[in-house]
Amino acid sequence: MAILTLREDPRLSLPRLNKRPSMRPIIGITTHAPNDQIVQDALYDRHYTSPALYVDAVRRAGGVPVLLPPDAADVTEWLDLAEGFVISGGTDIAPTLYDGDPDHPSLFPPSPKRDQAELDLTRALIEQRRKPALFVCRGMQMMNVALGGTLHEDIKGAIGQDIHRGTDGLWTQQEVQVDESSNLYRVMQAQTPAPYSGHHQGIKDVAEGLTVAATAADGIVEALEVTDHPYLIGVQWHPEMSAETEPSQQRLFDGLVAVASQSEVTS
């Protein structure tokens, strides 16, 4: 009896990735690694996790969210899979990546595999300049570190105050001042939004090739963007927290998906 193969029997053929039935763009969302210690001090043992709010915001924008586990051996596979990316928030970046103090008492435990994967992904996105990405909180910090910038290990220790977290160390709503000449302003259509923040670290030295697009009242950088690119934008706050009810924050995801829907992006 003849043995049918996938090639011989069209009923069993798998669809090609470049001929998806739906033309909605795939948006890759980076996740926590197993055992990452996040700000709530919970251990996620043997789970790759992402807040559902990222997924919800991408879906509302018309994208197809796909979670990206951060221990990938080669992020080239991610670049081949997705048309756009959300580099999400999470634990502190290892200070050794930006010549910081690895013994600083305020540091949360780093995630080495996630650091390496997101470092590789961020550099590839910026160097190739073909696909859009939204960098959120830790993601924006990685954007800066990947290009040679530095971070404050702890904002309060560096400048003597901290308006970026609530009194419980978690969320607060904090106004930011957006540069009207920035790509971020064009996307959000808001100059002084008050989104949710919950970070204790911040940008110290801005890397070459990045432009400051927003600041906080205390002078801390709140947004960065790659110069002359349609959508490589980083925000220090968490737009996913209020995107469902706040149009300016949902527009960050809408803009990402809109650019990802185009063919290849060039600078």
pLDDT (tens, 9 = 90+) of the chain, 267 residues, equals 444 333 343 333 333 444 454 589 999 999 987 766 554 444 445 677 888 999 999 999 999 999 999 877 789 899 999 999 999 999 999 999 999 999 898 888 888 899 999 999 999 999 988 899 999 999 999 999 999 999 999 888 888 888 888 887 789 899 999 999 999 999 999 999 999 998 899 999 999 999 999 999 999 999 999 988 989 999 999 999 999 999 999 999 999 999 999 855 544
Query: DSSP class of residue 95?
Result: G
Does 238 qualify as catalytic in the annotation?
Answer: yes
Of 118, 153, 222, 240, the catalytic one is 240
The question of whether 164 is a catalytic residue gets the answer no
Q: How far apart are CA 92 and CA 19, in angstroms?
A: 39
Beta carbons of 92 and 86 less than 8 angstroms apart: no
Among residues 83, 137, 153, 222, the one annotated as catalytic is: 137
What is the token pair recorded at 263? 């063919």
Q: Around Cβ 205, how many Cβ atoms within 10 Å? A: 13
Task: Specify the DSSP class assigned to residue 1.
Answer: -
Residue 127 among the catalytic residues: no
